[in-house]
Structure formats: C-alpha cells, structure tokens
Amino acid sequence: MDAAAEHLAQLVELLRTDSEQLIHRWVELTAPSLRGRLTEAELHSDSRELFDALQQALATTGNVNDSHFAEVKGLLEDLSRARARQGFSPSETAISVFTLKQAVSELVGQQDDQNLYRQVLTFSTLLDVLGLRTFEAYARTREGIIKEQSEQLLELTTPVVKLWDGVLAVPLVGTLDSIRTQIVMEKLLQALVDTGSEHAIIDITGVLAVDTQVAQHLLKTVMAARLMGAECTISGIRPQIAQTIVALGIEFGDITTKASLSDALRHALRRSGVDVVATARSGR
Amino acid sequence: MTELGTESARLEIIGDDDVVRVRQLARSYAQQVKLSLVDQTKLVTATSELARNTLTYGGGGAAEIGIVRDDHRTGVRASFQDSGPGIPDLDLAMTDGWTSGNGLGLGLSGARRLVDDFELDTEVGRGTTVTVVKWSR
Amino acid sequence: MDRVPILRIGDVLLVSIQVDLQDQGVLDLQEDLAEQLSSISARGVVIDISAVEIVDSFIGRMFATIASVSQLFDADTVVVGMRPAVAITLVELGLTLGNVRTALNLEKGLEILRGTRGRTGLEWAQPPPEVTR
C-alpha cells in the first residue's frame, strides 16, 4: 500500500467511525441555507444516503472519475434536480455538498495529524468537483422547466378558433420564429381534419415581423392544406410586412390574401355558399 | 457525422418488401427518440426514397438504421449502401426532377429536404453510400 | 401479398388503403383499377388514405397515374383523408401531382364526384423554393 492509499484509508476510517457526528454537523450547517423549505428529516435522509455512497466509493478509490463514483454522482444529480424543481437557487443547491467540507475539517482540526490534514485537502478538492456537478444538473433541470413553460405558453397564445361552420382561424400574435410557426401550422392542419373544416384563415394582424423562413412555413401550410382538400387565406398583412415580403422576393403565388380578418371571413363564407346578407344560416 | 451506438439494426435491401421493412424500422427508432409526428413522417418518407434508390439504381444493398446522440439531442441516423454503378454527375443527380430511371427524380433532392443532415459518398464503379440524420427538436 | 380491394358504390369506385403498401402492391392496384374502369362506366374514383402514414414519391406518382388513367375513361379521381403530417412531408418533398383532386374526408370526396359542390384542391401547387434550415 503506498502512502496516498494509506492516507485515504485513514480518512475512510475517520468517516466511518465518526459518521453519525459528521452527518449531524453536516445537516446542521446546511439547514440554515435551505431556510425551512425542506424538513430536517428530509435533509437528514438525503445527506445520509449521499454520505454512505461517498464513503463506499472512497473505500475503493480517491479518483472521482472512477466508475465507483457513479452512485454518488447519480444521487447528486437526483438531489440537484429535486432542488431545482423545489425552487432553490444553484448556490443553495451546491452548498449542500460544500458544507460537508467544513464538517470534516472541523472534525480533523481537533486532531493534530499532518498526514490526515493533507488528506482532508484532497477530499475537499474532490467535494469541489462533486459540488460543480450539482450546478450542471441544476442548470439542465432549469432548462427543461423553461422549455416546458415556453411550450405551455405556445399552447395558450395560439388558439385555433372556429369562426363559422367549416371556417377556422388562427390569430397569430407577436414574434414568429420558425419552430413556433411550424407547431401552430401543424395544429391548424390537424384542426381542419378534426372539424372537417374546408377553410382556414391565418390572421397575422398581430405579427410584428416575418422573415423568409416564417413566410415559407406559412406558404407550405397553405400548400399542405390544399393537398388535404382545404383552402387557406392569409389575412391582416400589415404594410411593413407586405414590404418585407416583396423585398425578400417571396412569391405568394395564387394564395388568397385579404387585408382584414373580416374580408377573409366573407371570402370563406362566399366560397362555402353562405350568404351573409340573408338570415344567418341559409345555404348549406 | 455522429457514429451509431448499440441501438441500431442492419437490413439487407434486395426486394420490394425490404423497402417496407426499412420504413417500419425507421418509424420504430423515430418513436423511440420521440420525434414529433411530422418529423417521424419526414424521416420515414426519406428512408423510403433512399431504400428504393438503393434497390433500383444500386441493384440492392443494405441499410443501417439506429439512434445517435450528441451533447444536446438525440436523433435517428439511416445509412444506405450499395455496390452499384455509382453516380457520375452528383450535381445533376441532386437536381429536382432529374432521374436516371423512370422515377419522379425527387429521390435524392427530396430526401435531403426532409432530413437535418445529409451526406453522400459515391464513386463510379464502386457504389454509393447515403447517410441521413433527423434530430429531435 | 393481398391486393387492395376496390369497392363499387353506385357509379363510384372506392379504394381504401389500409396497409403499408409495397411497390408491387401499388402497381397491382393501378392495374386492377384500370381493369375496373374499362369494364364499368364509373363517374369517379375515391382513394381513401386516412389510414396511410407515409406517402413517398412512388405512392404519390400512383395518384397521378390513376387520375390520368381515370380521365381516359371520363372519370375523376379524388384522394381523401390525407393526414397533416403526410401533407407537410409531401410539400417538403416537392411532389406535384397534376390533376389529382383532394378532399378532407370520404363524405366530401363523394360530394365532389356527385358534382354537388365546387372544385377544391384542384391543382397542386409548385414545390417550394429551397429553404436551408
């Protein structure tokens, strides 16, 4: 056994014999930063689990990249994910790892052993690495949450509404990006099938700007609707957007465009044989 | 291009029914990596075109389909290999409407529009390999 | 392999595609339809693809061929029930199909053939210009 391995064994022994005391102190140090949003019992069980896994891994190796640390890392990622979902900040999450350093050094400080002290330094470097991992896992979870929320927002902000029997409309509002446009258009086409509607109006009165890609998606939607046996009208093209479309050289071809939503509706009704002047539901 | 992992399968393309098998295999991987329905359809259609190319112009060959991952995303990769005559004029072959057989000439150029990554390797007299990837968005 | 059945409803021939068709199956269907069209005087052909998950260029070409053949027998062809994902994919693929008419569902397809309604989805648009993503 070389010197480093011997020191490691010494540290593991220390962690084992004083585990109760260490975990107790660790929880004590961590608790204030979590400010009562997690019960002491929960924190205690989290900490014990992590401590046991850490102790087990260290019994084999001091190398954090070794496969023996897989369980420790797994636990840390679970913990970070849970904390991120509970609304803790990244530092509040990482501190749960870093406080163990303090707990251990307090314990070792009582003993006058140079070698052990050096070993504690190595241990604390190892904890730094593990602490950083919580940041990564935390960030990934938050990104996931942000993505979920923006998808929910998308659902909320782009309703497909029925204007008349057989006439659907999507009022688009705000800034259109490529992905959002695609999702909305898929939703519109599905709604045509579900309701058996043969007319759709895409109203872009509330759209601030269109780029080439967005315009292409709109055009492709109109073509896809035709393949399915339905007609799309684009309404509410504002002057600036009309100029952009011309400047970008986008061909709207034979696609019906109307100045306003009401013009588009009148057009759709006429095509489906409904006369607006007569009593509301004549025709079909 | 990203390498295939263990989640992959290889299919010989020697007959009509193999084109259908390629479609089904591509569909099952596309569902595994949770591609959206539209992206699934685009990928499966592209593999159908490419498998038929392998059969018709390459005189048969093989397809290798599987899941690929990079740092941020997962996707499906499909690779089609034949030892046919190869493609002498690539630019021409990639043009909409051009065909050396009796197809609509949308096979290669159409398939390229349906996927995210497209790679074509061909040598006259040696054969052609086309590899495509569709990433989950 | 089983052939796709062709049903006769009055003077309309109805084809409902329920399986993932092999290329040979596509050719068989074209042949069978031409046979039927020549033996009875049908007003039109309805191809129901509501169960079809993908349409590639080979199947797309079948629609165009059937439409052209049926025109020779003075019959119209309507493709009904195309799924949104299939339609989006076909637009991206850049497929143009000439004189194929389309309808959202079987009922509307039959209405078109009975001439009780205007022509919709008559001409398929040109493929979109190249877009890089």
Domain ranges within chain B, ordered by starting residue: 8-135
CATH topology (fold) of A3-152: Globin-like (1.10.490)
What pLDDT score was predicted for residue A63?
81
- Interface mutation vs chain C, best among A190, A227, A274, most C CBs within 10 Å: A227
| Chains adjacent to C (≥3 CB pairs closer than 8 angstroms) | A, B
Chain C residues with CB under 8 Å of B27 CB are 53
- Give the mean pLDDT of chain C: 84
Residues 6+ apart with CB under 8 A from A41: none
Q: State how far the alpha carbon of A97 is from the alpha carbons of A31, A128, A215, B44, in Å.
A: 12, 8, 51, 47
Residues 6+ apart with CB under 8 A from C53: B27, B41, B44, C20, C83, C85, C86
Confidence of residue C127 (pLDDT cuts 50, 70, 90): very low
CB B45 within 8 A of CB C89: yes
Of B42, B49, B113, Cβ closest to residue C57: B49
CATH topology (fold) of A161-271: Transcription Regulator spoIIAA (3.30.750)
- Alpha helices for A110-254 (secondary structure H): 114-157, 178-195, 212-228, 239-247
- Give the mean pLDDT of chain A: 84
In this predicted model, what pLDDT tens digit does every residue of A177-198 receive, in sequence order?
A: 888 788 888 999 999 999 999 9
In this predicted model, what pLDDT tens digit does every residue of A74-120 receive, in sequence order?
A: 888 888 888 888 888 888 888 888 888 888 888 877 777 777 777 88
Compute φ and ψ for B35, nearest 5 degrees.
Answer: -65, 150
At the second CATH level, the architecture of B8-135 is 2-Layer Sandwich (3.30)
CB C67 within 8 A of CB C77: yes
In this predicted model, what pLDDT tens digit does every residue of B75-119 receive, in sequence order?
A: 999 999 999 888 887 777 777 655 555 454 557 888 999 999 999
Chain C residues with CB under 8 Å of A198 CB are 104, 108, 120
Name the closest residue on chain C to residue B17, using Cα atoms: C22
Report the alpha-carbon distance of residue C127 to residue C129 in Å, rounded. Answer: 7
Highest mean pLDDT among A158-172, B34-48, C115-129: B34-48
Share of chain A above pLDDT 90, in %: 20
| B23 in contact with C, Cβ within 8 Å | yes
Half-sphere exposure of A175 (CA within 13 A, CB side): 1
Chain C residues contacting B via beta carbons under 8 Å: 20-24, 53-58, 60-61, 83-86, 88-89, 92-95, 127, 130-131, 133
Q: Mark yes or no for CB contact A179/B137 under 8 Å.
A: yes
- The tokens for B53 are 């190319």
Domain ranges within chain A, ordered by starting residue: 3-152, 161-271
Of C90, A210, A42, give the one whose Cα is nearest residue B45.
C90
Of C21, A192, A190, A200, give the one whose Cα is nearest residue B36.
A190
DSSP code per residue over chain B: -PPP-SSEEEEEE-SHHHHHHHHHHHHHHHHHTT--HHHHHHHHHHHHHHHHHHHHTSSSEEEEEEEEE-SS-EEEEEEEEE-S---S-HHHHTSTT--SSSS-S-HHHHHHHHSSEEEEEEETTTEEEEEEEEE--
Report the alpha-carbon distance of residue C93 to residue C112 in Å, rounded. Answer: 27
Q: Mark yes or no for CB contact C104/A228 under 8 Å.
A: yes
Residues 6+ apart with CB under 8 A from C16: C4, C5, C7, C48, C51
Least confident window among A34-38, A68-72, B108-112, C88-92 = A34-38
Averaged over A57-64, what is the pLDDT?
A: 82
Name the closest residue on chain C to residue A191, using Cα atoms: C84
Compute φ and ψ for A170, nearest 5 degrees.
Answer: -120, 110
What pLDDT score was predicted for residue A179?
80
What pLDDT score was predicted for residue C3?
87
Residues 6+ apart with CB under 8 A from A116: A7, A10, A11, A14, A108
Name the closest residue on chain C to residue B116, using Cα atoms: C133
Q: Mark yes or no for CB contact C131/A227 under 8 Å.
A: no
Domains of chain C: 6-113 (3.30.750.24)
The CA distance from B109 to the nearest CA of chain C, in Å, is 8
What pLDDT score was predicted for residue B107?
74
In this predicted model, what pLDDT tens digit does every residue of B24-58 receive, in sequence order?
A: 999 999 999 999 999 999 999 999 999 999 998 88
